[in-house]
A and B are shown apart, each in its own frame.
Chain A
Amino acid sequence: MDRTRINDQLRALLSGNKEIKGAVVSTRDGLLLSNVGTGFDADRIAAMISTALGLGYHMLGTADLGELREINFAAEGGILSIYSVGTVAVLAVISKPNSNFGMIQLQARRCAEAVNPEVELAR
């Protein structure tokens, strides 16, 4: 499996916004596909974000709110946001505190769209 093109997209995301300090892409069942940035255990994050996305889908379905757009976990040290990559993968973006979060959301969604065909190819 060639994951360099997934990694290229993540690198572009980080270099395009200094407020983003890390990104992880995993399969829907929690296997790490690619990661950039330091300061976190990417394998653990990969498993956890697939759990969160799976629960998020069920939660929003149970609350009858429709399709999941994104999940945000906010803390003192920053925000971890989770996006669905098509129907095959999960993207997590870790950003610094007090960032321009609207911009980060926009760039992260674009990144998820750009990563989608690369994941399909890498399978």
Chain B
Amino acid sequence: MADNVYKIVISGPVGAGKTTFVQALSHERTFSVDENASEDIGKEMTTIAMDYGVLKLGDNRFRLYGTPGQERFDFMWEILSEGAVGLVLLIPAHRPDQFTKARAIYERLFSLFALTTVVGVTHCDVEKAWDIDAIGTFFDFSQDQMLRIDPRESSSCYLLLQNLFSQIKKNQTKN
């Protein structure tokens, strides 16, 4: 029998850790379509098209699509979300100036595709990072759909994906 395949979108504002997240979770060959950033966005490279990776968990296969974070690439958010069943929204806790952008991405994707969503709060170890509870209040997300993660460490990324998977399953049995 063929594996169960789930398409998952990883999105969020610039510098949240989307590319790193996809690379941390993928067993098979990944690819990232990125370029040198012309502007000062706090890092050297920026995603211009997508990140792609595949994670196998038992009989389940997750195809991970990371979006660009910069607003001028917003057309890719919708293209990559077509046919997806879940959204991993990454929010950089140390960049409150990016929160409204994160909300705009979430509202756009949710209104179009009603994706089951979990939230990964990144960069929590940075000075002046917002507390996860405060971020939950700001976005009106419930704490059981949020997790502090470090995209460089695959273990925390796994936990977040497992949380998403169980919510997807829950929503499937509901319908």
Contact = CB atoms under 8 A, between A and B. Distances in A.
Interface of A: 27-31, 43-44, 46-48, 50-51, 54-55, 57-58, 62
Contact of A31 (B33, B38, B49): B38
Contacts of A48: 75
B31 interface: yes
Nearest to B46: A29
A28 B36 contact: yes
B28 interface: no
Most chain A CB atoms below 10 A, which of B35, B68, B70? B35
Nearest to A52: B49
A58 B46 CA distance: 16
B48 A29 contact: yes
Nearest to B33: A54
Nearest to A123: B38
A30 B48 contact: yes
A28 B33 contact: no
B76 interface: yes
